[in-house]
Structure 1
């Protein structure tokens, strides 16, 4: 009876996930867009810059000879999943596009955004900037998404023409087949931009730590799927360019001697959303900020910042805070310690720390007919992927509206 109950529970959980393809009716590619190249933008969450060689990702290694590879890609601060996927998609730093953390307070509305809240994730009001799929659709170039942060949200009254709400119930063979189906559509209905996302490396590196052999298995899984995806679409004979990225790296931390919420942060005066690599402290009573700041500075387990004190390369100061979403104070743990605001033991692998740390470095590779062969690039910031992809697709944008610069990756283009 217990086994039957468990089976029923898990089947209901799977059933509750939205696994349907969402199609926006009435869309088509403009005639001038039908001759443009194609880009499949692939992200492997947590795929640190050294993982392809450290864990023998043979296919990705082989593509270094026929494409370009960066020694690393620098993530944006904080080096977390939601902010960085959206920085790659918009060419903006997190404080400039508004998705400043995985969890944060929108001071103007008083609402607390959480990446675990599916309803919030699907609301366009949280996302500033113009993500690549919106840029494409507004220029009558169709886009598709098999997952990407914010791709299931109505941003500027626009969704990708074809998209899936994020879930982990759809098997990988079905996902590959769907990409091939999209690219097999007639020219007027065929998406030229496709996003594709893998969670596996991040899951395993969190749970077991980035040095665990099980991370090698997940890295090689991603590697094989990308090889299978390329093989599946190759017979179509289309000018498809592959851009492989990750959002951040991963670091092993002390998950035993963690830091609980500091005593001065009482709930009557402050709101502190969940965090482990960073805590935002929002004052309910602004008269308490200065005295609490002085108290927090005495605790040497973490660094306490006012918003005019954060490192310049974070782009995370009050002057950057376009949506009024950064905390009045920011607390950053001194590694290897991290915060733990719950009663449960936290994971062994973490990210979210200073992007200059080697362990936070992300990956970048690209190959295809628009891309040079055998070129190694120096490290660069992830906001520069946006103009690179837009250039391949022949999409126009206002260079002043983004933080990324085309000249950073111009040398990688044929």
Structure 2
């Protein structure tokens, strides 16, 4: 499955449950500035990130609840927004293991039928955390993958013990992939931009992209000057990045039609990182951290996500063991809604459940 661009956590988690591209639902990065609100979204600060003003679109749990199907969510990004909470809600707690989360799901399924949620979503961050810490081929990755596999096995065994395995649909997705970093692949953008241009800039946005926005008191020519310096560098060096004015970002990325996207969008090659010299010195500092990064071109192999589904409707439509051609994660909302017999809210699906066999 192809993640949406940029291939980072909060934009893609919200795309998975709304079927909207980030430019449409408004979560265009894990950190970004809204020039209309004159405020910055920071995903790791719930006091900011749970404010409804940031979020557009209707998540699948609200679609279900509005059509008389109870919903439950375990720690999915965006599920804590007061105006969009599901019927059953477990807030983010990093002390919960994947198996404990599956036990929560099974406990909900043990409720009397009139109280039982019909749609449940679960977020498990451990693979992403280990990927950042040790890289995609880090020494602990296989252990974490096994733990996740065991947790899914625990869920499936629990469904079978309750005679639900032939009734419940299970859909497993990831939000993105992961690529290894190295200190030899650091791009120092203070070697590319002039001191004057650097002085015009607000904080960078949508890491690991280098999304750049001039300060309010910067001169009118600041965007053009900064863009030209970045672009001219690509014409004279092996730059390992591409730079676009927001309005010129290629259509395939669906990443231009929102003011929360900075006026200048710089996309590094897979595995490359933008830094200032004061942030990291590759001659005296140790290994570059994080050792794994995502957020690159969403069509890069390293950024690919996973999609697996099982259940009676899946098998009737596609056959057991079917493999389909790669598709955008904007299709997942419509797919899950179809399993639940729900009427969908407007979304960006194009296949809309008509997946092509490989």
**What band does the TM-score fall into relative to the shorter chain?**
0.7 to 0.9
1:136 corresponds to: 64
Map 1:392-403 onto structure 2 (within 5 A). Answer: 392-398=339-345, 401-403=346-348
Q: CA deviation at 1:172?
A: 3.8
Q: Does 1:385 align with 2:310?
A: no
Encode CA deviations 1:373-401: one digit per residue, 9 max, x unaligned. Answer: 12111111100011110011011024xx2
Paired residue secondary structure (1:282): coil
2:221 corresponds to: 287
Q: Which one of 269, 272, 283 corresponds to residue 203 of structure 2?
A: 272
**Cα distance in 1 for residues equivalent to 2:226 and 2:290:** 29
1:111 corresponds to: 39
**Cα distance in 1 for residues equivalent to 2:139 and 2:199:** 45
Encode CA deviations 1:13-65: one digit per residue, 9 max, x unaligned. Answer: xxxxxxxxxxxxxxxxxxxxxxxxxxxxxxxxxxxxxxxxxxxxxxxxxxxxx
2:149 corresponds to: 223
Paired residue secondary structure (1:220): helix
Q: Which one of 328, 350, 353 corresponds to residue 296 of structure 2?
A: 353
Q: CA deviation at 1:236?
A: 2.5
Paired residue secondary structure (1:74): coil
Per mean C-alpha deviation after superposition, the further-off stretch among 129-138 and 267-276 is 267-276
* CA RMSD between the two structures: 2.0
**Cα distance in 2 for residues equivalent to 1:199 and 1:240:** 23
Q: CA deviation at 1:260?
A: 3.7
Per mean C-alpha deviation after superposition, the further-off stretch among 260-269 and 219-228 is 260-269
Q: CA deviation at 1:268?
A: 5.0
Structure 1 gaps, min length 5: 1-72
Q: Does 1:236 align with 2:162?
A: yes
Structure 2 gaps, min length 5: 281-287
**Cα distance in 1 for residues equivalent to 2:296 and 2:149:** 26
**Cα distance in 2 for residues equivalent to 1:268 and 1:105:** 18
Encode CA deviations 1:211-248: one digit per residue, 9 max, x unaligned. Answer: 23421111111111100011123232332110000001
TM-score by length of 1: 0.75
**Cα distance in 2 for residues equivalent to 1:331 and 1:161:** 40
Given that 2:6 and 2:28 are in contact with CA atoms closer than 8 Å, whether structure 1 keeps it comes out as yes
Q: Cα 1:312–1:410, aligned 2, differ >3 Å: closer, same or farther?
A: closer
Q: Does 1:81 align with 2:17?
A: no
1:16 corresponds to: none
Given that 2:11 and 2:28 are in contact with CA atoms closer than 8 Å, whether structure 1 keeps it comes out as yes
More strand by share: 1
Per mean C-alpha deviation after superposition, the further-off stretch among 183-192 and 266-275 is 266-275
**Cα distance in 2 for residues equivalent to 1:91 and 1:176:** 25
**Cα distance in 1 for residues equivalent to 2:168 and 2:10:** 27
Paired residue secondary structure (1:339): strand
Per mean C-alpha deviation after superposition, the further-off stretch among 237-246 and 335-344 is 335-344
TM-score by length of 2: 0.87
Q: Which one of 239, 246, 251 corresponds to residue 174 of structure 2?
A: 246
**Cα distance in 2 for residues equivalent to 1:201 and 1:174:** 16
1:163 corresponds to: 89
Given that 2:3 and 2:328 are in contact with CA atoms closer than 8 Å, whether structure 1 keeps it comes out as yes
